[in-house]
Structure 1
Amino acid sequence: MNDSFDRAPGAGRTRNLPADPGLAGGAAGDCETKTTLFNQREPLRQPRTSPPFAENNISTANVVGGGDFKRQSKPQQSTNADSTSASTGCNEVDSLVKSSKLSASAPEFVPSGINTYEDPSYYDDDDSSYYGEPTLADTVKGFLAHLSSSPGSFESDVEHITGMLNSWVTTEELLKELVELIYTQSTAIPNFSYTGARLCNYLSHHLIVSPPSGNYRQLLLQRCRKEYEQRDVAVRGDLETQKKFHSFVLFLGELYLNLEIKKPKGPPSRANILLTALKDLLISLFSKPVDANLICAVKLLKLTGSVLDDTWKESGKPHMEELIQRIENILLDATCSRDVRQMLLKLVELRSSDWGRVRAAAAASNATPDNDPNYFMNEPTFYTEDGTPFTAADPEYAEKYQEILDRQDYFHDLDGENGNEIYDSEDEMEPEIEEAFENFCLEAERKRQQ
């Protein structure tokens, strides 16, 4: 028992150990034990790459005994097979690399299944539209689009725009191009004629360049004259021609209202040459009384009718009466649509009421509801219990307003009864309350002294 049980540390743990595998003359039992222990170990994973030298593997196998050499022969065969396949794969990759047309220094990679097209002018050195600075046309269209989308920023942006144009437009050719660009955009962009006319007026006074052919205002009027001379042909043209002509007519009306000509003495005046042009344009529109022409004439008269009427009356010319007579004849004879006929009737009524203007209002001290139509303009609007509005112009205004005041006093009294009324701390107390308060203070002082 003592032989089989040893209390010494580590005793008995070295029993039945296998012999050194390097010995050639191992016993049979030791070989069996060695085989059993070797089989219990986990199989080694094969290397991903082949061994660097085959001679080392062979020499290592010769050191191992006969039985071990047999056991190592199968892994060795698989290793050799992997080495052969790896070398074969490397040879195939080398052949592909040698035959490939790909290059690491190529600017880009494009798969073979994609067809590409390159514009020869895209990389042309003379193409200044891509690499160069923006042109005058691009710049003008850009800030005109900005003013069209944000007309309220005109006052804050027009000075910057003018300064930019002064540094850019320095020759006669550029000035003519600028005039053409602004005219085209002012007649092409919907509802931009008013802002375009204001811009033209500002540039006519602040643009520095002034070639011998004329300044900005003179070149602009020359451009407008080209369209004016084609008026009789345009009113009888196709729909597209008429549309462009109508845009020009409305822009010229805005230009007449906004373009100012400074004088050496006195306030600036309007361009009288445009006054004559507008009369001739209206006559041309009424000479071909189709719906589109009549609608354009109505829009122009609503826009400029009061100013034209006053100017012609001051000079003693009956041009407005002649135009109104033409409209009345069209209402009798022309075969226009019902809506256009109604528009013409409303225009005649508008002119008979002096274009909707109130000439002279009474002075504030002498104004009464009878002599001043604006007497109740600034009066507040009240509402009855059922939601009916009434103002000071209502005959029952005094009675209804007194009902509102009585109702307010009633609710004020209710608030006071409920204790919600706020008193001023500086108000004097009534005599009875003051006497009672003094007696209370004396009684409280007497009790405190006892």
Structure 2
Amino acid sequence: MVEPGHYGYQQPPPPPPPPPAPPQPLPMAVIPRVQYSQAQVHQRGSLSSDLCRDFSRLCNVQSTTATTPTSTSTCSSAPSSGTTFKWRLDAPEFVPLAMRQKESTGTVSVEQTNVMQYFLWELVNWLSQLYMDPAKYELIARQISGQLNCCVRTEHDLAAVVDKFFDVCMSYPHFSYQAARLSGHFNAQFTGCPDAPDLFRKLLLRRCHAELENRSTLLDSDQLAPRLHNFVIFLSELAAQTEQGAAPNEFALDALLELLEELLARQSDAHLRCALTALKCSGAMLLRHAPDQTRRLFAAIDDRSFLQRQSSSVLFLAKTLANCRRQWEQSAEQLRSIAEACESARDVAESVANSLLDHSDGVHYGPDGQPLTSEESDFLAEFDNNEDLLMAEAYEKFLMMVNTNNNQNR
């Protein structure tokens, strides 16, 4: 045997680990037995108040191990494991059904609130991304409308979404066109509420009305003026886009005209540029649906005293608007001439048709049952029955003569 320290000595293997200890059984709680007298048993019945009182008594009882002394005599012989248990009053089996329904309703409301908060946060992110990259409009519009239908279930939630959408859109400059497109898309695609058809637009117009009521504050503040300018351009885009499918909304039309008059009355370059831009966007629509008020606005812009005291940028916009107005008037004149031509052609066709109907005496048929023209029927009407017989005899003689000539030629 080679001793340690010499060449060829090998270290003996380590001893095997000790076997694991067997798992200890979980301690069991000892439920004390509640003793009732015979009279109490008859009086208790099935009253829920007594049952809840018993549960509260049980919840205040603590069962301990044999090594830990307890104040309850029935628990002194319980097995010892060093763990203390306490009954919970909010355990599902101890809570009445009505209380469980209330808790479930409260849980659902809390979950819906969390879902709405997350959706509003996502809405701000999507709108910011669309502002930075307008080419992704189709993708972002589908994403927002899909999440809107999944998350919104009540009109109150939709009103919160409209408020957030409006505030975000009014905070971004040059975003009014995309905001108006999104408004029409959401109004057409939203199906989350029972009153979903046209609900988004109704709530949006309500929010616009609240913004219109606050216009005096926005006009007097230099810091809030850009928000008002974005709101005016948004109204012009909204009215112009809704006019493509139907008549523009009456509130949007009146609010836009009112704001344009107030902006033109101010001698500020920013207000004037906003008014001229809005007229350039929706001037053709305003001329069709509110021609008198729109012409008054154009007359105020064409005033020489108004143009002499304006800056070069305002003059450039006014010149551009004048060119656009000239094109609108030419297009309106062409459309008017086409409409008048169609109207006159329709009147002529109606008069001819009515004259034919007035002079028509019905359909006439000949002896063979075939319909006759009006000239043929008039020709036949000139002869009476005797003349008809004479004509028939003459016709028979003519046929006999023709047959005789044919036989002679043969």
TM-score for the superposition, normalised by structure 2: 0.48
Q: Which has the higher helix share?
A: 2
TM-score for the superposition, normalised by structure 1: 0.44
